[in-house]
Chains A and B, each alone.
Chain A
Amino acid sequence: MKTTEEIFQILKENFPNSELTLKTDVPTEPFIIIAPFDVDKISLFLRDNPDLLFDSLMCLSGVDDFNGQKVKDENGNEVMQGGTLSVYYHLESTSIRHKLVLKTSTSRDNPEVVSVSEIWNSANWHEREAFDMFGIKFINHPDLRRILMPYDWEFGYPLRKDYQNPEFYQGMKVPY
């Protein structure tokens, strides 16, 4: 079993060129912040290294950090410009029985993260959900379609903080 601090040291030795940050002063378990385009190679290492063996991606979640510039658009609605969207990965090793949390942040205006669906198959639908709710594009995903909202939903990504619900969808009134 390894703590997040020990795993962080192993990652630092093996990825000297990658940007890695350990975050411990949080009320939750500590996590490691990585760059959005390093996610796939770090994930593959975490899965296959005999000391780590993270064989299970328990959860992959999108988050709207809501840290950009609040601007009024032409209709008077408040929209967010700049800032970041984040993806959290909760990993577990079922053989060594240790856990790890990874975080990566990507720009809100062009949110792109490398997909890990080739590494953990469970990521496939989780990434589709993060795409559906936040509009985060997962590069190399085999089938990046909406998963919960209707396929013809063209009113944006509902879990973004500045999301505006449409008045009508397919002739049906949406607001109460």
Chain B
Amino acid sequence: MGLLDKEFSDGNIIITTTEDLFNWARLSSLWQVGFGLACCAIEMMATSASHYDFDRFGVIPRPSPRQSDVIIISGTVTLKMALRVKRLYEQMPDPKYVISMGSCSNCGGPYWEHGYHVLKGVDRVIPVDVYVPGCPPRPEALLEGLLKLQEKIRQESLVKKSA
């Protein structure tokens, strides 16, 4: 039985705004690109595993950027990798979000001075929504970052331009 077949008196009707519905749908199933860069990726995998259970927030790794909503830059972005990261980001469909995980992808981390091969922050090639500090961040910190991203998505508007 479809929704429209039912009488209004049935009581099974929720009234909401389109914005809230869209935002709720988006933030509840953020599929991440199945992609890891360095030691932070180990923590990201731990976050995905049963103990911390990323899946309870609707986050599952997706093996294709074309079916993903969020990319977690988990580790050192070398200059060689930066071009690939940028290409992955460009292959994702809108709306797309970026979590920068760990000191390396935030600002270069321990490679900030003598890392001839390291991009000093992934925000030099793609726009970042949430920065998660740590070296590497614990799974709880990554979960906090995800909750921050969900908060951000909850505030989004269809008509107002995002900053």
Contact = CB atoms under 8 A, between A and B. Distances in A.
Interface of A: 148-150, 158, 163, 165, 169-170, 172-176
A172 B125 contact: yes
Given A149-B80, A150-B79, A170-B83, A176 B116 contact: no
Given A148-B117, A149-B117, 8 more contacts: A158-B117, A169-B79, A170-B79, A172-B82, A172-B119, A174-B79, A176-B107, A176-B120
A150 B113 CA distance: 20
B112 interface: yes
Contacts of A148: 117
Contacts of B116: 158, 163, 165, 174
B120 A175 contact: yes
Interface residues of B, number: 14
Contacts of A174: 79, 116, 119-120
Contacts of B56: none
A172 B119 CA distance: 8
A173 B113 CA distance: 13
Given A172-B124, A176-B108, A150 B80 contact: yes
A-B pairs, top 3 by smallest CB distance, nearest first, are A158-B116, A150-B80, A176-B120
28 contacts: A148-B117, A149-B80, A149-B117, A150-B79, A150-B80, A158-B117, A163-B116, A165-B116, A169-B79, A170-B79, A170-B83, A172-B79, A172-B82, A172-B119, A172-B124, A172-B125, A173-B120, A173-B124, A174-B79, A174-B116, A174-B119, A174-B120, A175-B120, A176-B107, A176-B108, A176-B112, A176-B113, A176-B120
A148 B79 CA distance: 11
Contacts of A165: 116
Interface string B10-29: 00000000000000000000
Indicate the member of B83, B117, B120, B125 with the most A CB atoms within 10 Å. Answer: B117
Interface string B114-142: 00110110001100000000000000000
Nearest to B79: A169
